[in-house]
Structure 1
Amino acid sequence: MFKNLLEKYASPFALRRMGIMGMNKRNISYISRYNPRRLYPLVDNKLKTKQIALDAGVTVPELVGVIEFQHQVSHLWDLVKDWPGFCIKPAKGSGGKGIVVIERHDRTNFVKPSGKVETIGDLERHISNILAGLFSLGGKPDVALIEALINFDDVFDGFSYEGVPDTRVIVFKGFPVMAMMRLSTDASDGKANLHQGAVGVGLDINTGRAIRAVQFNLPIRYHPDTGRDLLELKVPYWEELLSLSSSCYEMSGLGYIGTDMVLDKQKGPMLLELNARPGLAIQTANAAGLVPRLKKIEKLGKKVTMSPEERVAFSRREFATEA
């Protein structure tokens, strides 16, 4: 994406000089090399990711229930009736597909963040589609997870529209190397998906402060729906969030991953999901290439005996960005 944006103004040599990583290099030099294929199921399945996170003591959104078979769909009401809000998602979905967020309900009307009302029948049909594999990778049969709603921290008021903002951190060999916050918009239908029109805000890896913002790969300054100045954004509990992201290296065994974190008002930083094939749009949001940072980590050698906290301190020192 970043390459497509810049190729009108910069030569391939200039892009290489900036260290912009393309998809082929990502796939061959990093994903194939550092991510054992046998471990992919741990991150491609959100239920398995949640299980290994809980085993590792990592905070995750509370699991309300799981629906695995068609005959269980009719039990949806029994699962959600005592929850004021909840989220339905496919275990093997990607890119935010198939996720339905219910903000509140009166036992008859289930209200989404956009204000659209669903019935219990609508939600049951949606879960049936999840089980059939409509939203899964490769169209394979899936299971539906129902999770407790995340109460995102008030510090993000006005930065996101009808959706929970999340922080994507690229972690290489346990070192957080680049970060951005994804903010939902009306165009993205309340989902933090950059391809659908969410805003990407590049973050200084040292401070968690915004350094740049983009929508549809073009720089912007203010949120398109709320008018909030995006350069005022600063993520609290930043060191804790980075340490949590860094610890996902030991938890998953994967060398090159994207960690998606959220900040809950009561529980603080929480792991939403892991991605073994994180996208490259984070470079656009940061106006910086991943390659120089990845190479600096590789120069440390194959065996690095640092704790997550030590790796975070290294990254904050080496990859700090001037706003």
Structure 2
Amino acid sequence: MLGSLLNYFASPSALRNAGVLGMNRRNHDYIAAYNKRKYYPMVDDKLITKELALKVGVPTAGLIGTIRYQYEAKNFMRMTEYYPSFVIKPGHGSGGRGILVIKSHDGENFRKADGSVIGYQQVYSHITNILSGLYSLGGQIDYALFEECISFSEIFSDFSYQGVPDIRIIVFQGYPVMAMMRLATKRSDGRANLHQGAVGVGLSIRSGEPRQAVLLDEPVTHHPDTGRALSELAVPEWGKHLELAARCAKMIKLGYFGADIVNDSEKGPLLLELNARPGLGIQIANRAGLRSRLELIESLPPNAMLSVREKIEFAQAHFD
């Protein structure tokens, strides 16, 4: 399937004719029109997102705690000493910047996801950098969020380089309209970020099967570091991924957003974070435009009170 699609990889002009959504139209017709700014903190603040998810029963990584002030940073071990692994994130970060994953430690030496070891002082310095706003949106003073480490599902071990792969699902008015998986590479430094060199694999809304894959907007058939054929990628419990993403619509009161989901080997699909301004590279990964899908949703009767399950069934029937 994947190889045949690459033979018909669309040029930019062909993508426009196919209904590709441009940045200006996305910002004006969808983000500005359907996302009220007063609700942005629900997605821009990771702690608020997590608290809302826990309140409505959306599964997410376990919360260890937060550090908000510089004088607290030196005592981070009091919070994490009973956790063999943990993750430190900026509360208002984006694009994976400022995330530190600790896979194991003895209180003095901390092993990162890439296998390298850093000391207590380096972890402390990272936390103070987060608090100073080094990684936050707009450089604002921030807080450090501590989470339980996600147990990487072995079914994706040959499809990603060191980092945990995630699935981005665009949701519009509660309908999942487009999806892709982002696979970390050596070039992306283990981060699932397309702009930094991660692989984007378009996924069928209907089945979760791979449609095609891109690396820096160029088509690829195999992971550049592991050599694994991307056509062999299979997402378990695809229906649960769609349900998790669609349920977030009522939780955050935004009409257009991206839901980032990871697959935990023990807990299954978990919400990683939400994005009120999801990028448009997902269209290249799918060789399909968002505009026609969004317009179809807009054409539906406004008083159609469909359940989450009914919206998912509609999306799977109309969007490949």
Query: How would you bin the TM-score normalised by the shorter chain?
Result: over 0.9
Change (3 A) 1:295 1:113: same
Shift of 1:112: 1.2
The secondary structure found in structure 2 opposite 1:160 is: coil
Deviations 1:123-182 (A, max 9, x none): 111110100111101100000001111012221120111011100000000000000001
Counterpart CA distance in 2 for 1:50 and 1:301 is: 32
Check the 8 A contact 2:15/2:287 in 1, yes or no.
no
The secondary structure found in structure 2 opposite 1:103 is: strand
Check the 8 A contact 1:61/1:271 in 2, yes or no.
yes
Counterpart CA distance in 2 for 1:36 and 1:163 is: 33
Counterpart CA distance in 2 for 1:135 and 1:121 is: 19
Correspondence 1:96-245 to 2 at 5 A: 96-245=96-245
Partner of 2:248: 248
Deviations 1:232-279 (A, max 9, x none): 111111001101100111111000000000111111111110000000
The secondary structure found in structure 2 opposite 1:272 is: strand
Shift of 1:302: 2.4
Counterpart CA distance in 1 for 2:188 and 2:82 is: 29
Unpaired runs of at least 5, structure 1: 1-5
Q: Report the residue type matching 2:291 in the other structure.
A: V
Deviations 1:96-146 (A, max 9, x none): 111111112233221112222111110111110100111101100000001
The secondary structure found in structure 2 opposite 1:107 is: coil
Q: Report the residue type matching 1:261 in the other structure.
A: I
Check the 8 A contact 1:102/1:112 in 2, yes or no.
yes
Q: Report the residue type matching 1:148 in the other structure.
A: E
Counterpart CA distance in 2 for 1:27 and 1:187 is: 30
Unpaired runs of at least 5, structure 2: 1-7
The secondary structure found in structure 2 opposite 1:189 is: coil
Shift of 1:9: 4.8
Check the 8 A contact 1:77/1:120 in 2, yes or no.
no
Instruction: Please provide the CA RMSD for this pair.
Output: 1.4
Shift of 1:66: 0.5
Q: Report the residue type matching 1:204 in the other structure.
A: S
Partner of 1:299: 299
